[in-house]
Amino acid sequence: MRQFRSMIYPYVVWLAIMVVVPMLLILLYAFTKEGNSVTTFRFTLENFTRFFSDAVFLDVLKRSLIIAIVTTILCVLLGYPIAYAIASGPEKSRMFWILMITMPTWINMLVRTYAWVGILQDDGLLNKLFGLFGLEPVKMMYTTFAVVLGMVYNFIPFMILQIHASLAKMDKSLLEAASDLGANRWQSFLRVTLPLSLPGVLSGITLVFLPAVSSFFIPKLLGGGQYVLIGNVIETQFLTSGDWNFGSAISLIMAIIIMLSMYFTRKVDTDPSANGRSE
């Protein structure tokens, strides 16, 4: 059994260097000033106070959170019926639709986001379609609508796949039992299907919220240069203004928000009273 055990050690060293050290650097930079050369830095909370005392940054944070939450809610509301429709089909059609949902995720996200630019233009495909119904063209490019649409488009496959996985795992005889016991379709959905698929919904929420809150090229491509989310602020700090300390602090704030939201999502998942599972 001992054979091959030593094969892990080079990878442990690699992980320490390539994963742990960069994370520690973010911490170090976030809590220091003038840290670009290792010998002159001093510890400070300045980067954090600068962020939380500036209304502009707080606005950006608020907007990022709202957009991520709206995206996540839309993904649940749209993704659940889609996953349900897939899961209720016969085996062959299920495999086909899972493939159909998975395939776009293999294609470059940036390319797929850019593809919407032509569709959302003032004289684009969508407005031409509206025109057929006699509607006035609507400005969609460079609006919040476009940004949310881009996020839902990119991230909803994760939600559908997660919900489908938990629906497919479900024991179908439970539904028969429910109807034998006199539940109608709606009741057995609410009391059996929904609670059993909740773990899938929750992991879908994590998989959508995380990239949505940190996204920076979707707002840039579909929201325009004026549309700033927290990811764009981080990008600017690192690639334009060169304030790595402040940029690290913002990333840390974002990472903590994500960790907290994941923690609460997990908590709902394991709390039996929250989803009707009584064990």
Partner 1 sequence: MEPRKSFWKKALLWLTALFFYLPIVYIIVFSFNDSRSLTKFSGFSLRWYEKMFSDSSMMESVVYTIVIAVLATIISTIAGTLAAIGLSRSRRMLRSVVEQVNNLPVMNPEIVTAIGLLMFFSALGIDKGFLTLLLAHIMFCTPYVMLSVSPKLRSLDPNLADAALDLGATPLQALTKVIVPQIMPGIVSGALIAFTMSFDDFIISYFVTGNGVNNISIMVYTMSKRVNPSINALSTLVIAIITVVLLIVNIAPILKEKRRKKV
Query: Contact with partner 1 (CB under 8 A): which of 168, 183, 217, 243?
Result: 217
* Subset of 162-181 contacting partner 1 (CB under 8 A): none
Q: What tokens does 48 get?
A: 């954090």
Near partner 1 by CB under 8 A: residue from 53, 55, 92, 111: 111
Looking at residues 228 to 247 of the shown chain, list those that interact with partner 1 (rule: CB under 8 A): 231, 234-235, 238-239, 244, 247
- Residue 41, sorted as left (phi over 0), alpha (psi -120 to 50) or beta, turns out to be beta
155 near partner 1, rule: CB under 8 A: no
Separation CA 141–CA 149 (nearest Å): 11
Cite the DSSP H helix spans in 107-143.
109-114, 116-120, 125-132
Residue list 60-89, contact with partner 1 (CB under 8 A): 81-82, 85-86, 88-89
User: Does 116 interact with partner 1 (rule: CB under 8 A)?
Assistant: yes
- 251 binding partner 1? (CB under 8 A): yes
Token match 């439970």: residue?
Answer: 174
Angle at CA 102, nearest 5°, toward 189 and 88?
Answer: 25
The residue from 23, 58, 95, 190 that contacts partner 1 (CB under 8 A) is 23
Tell whether residue 11 is a contact of partner 1 (CB under 8 A).
yes
Judged by beta carbon, residue 232 or residue 275, the one nearer partner 1 is: 232
Distances (CA, A) of 242 to 47, 60, 94, 158, 231: 14, 19, 49, 34, 15
Q: Between 224 and 268, name the residue whose CB sits nearer to partner 1.
A: 224
Stretch of residues binding partner 1 (CB under 8 A), selected from 110-118, 164-172, 173-181, 192-200? 110-118
φ and ψ at 36, to 5 degrees? -65, -25
Asked if residue 124 binds partner 1 (CB under 8 A), the reply is: yes
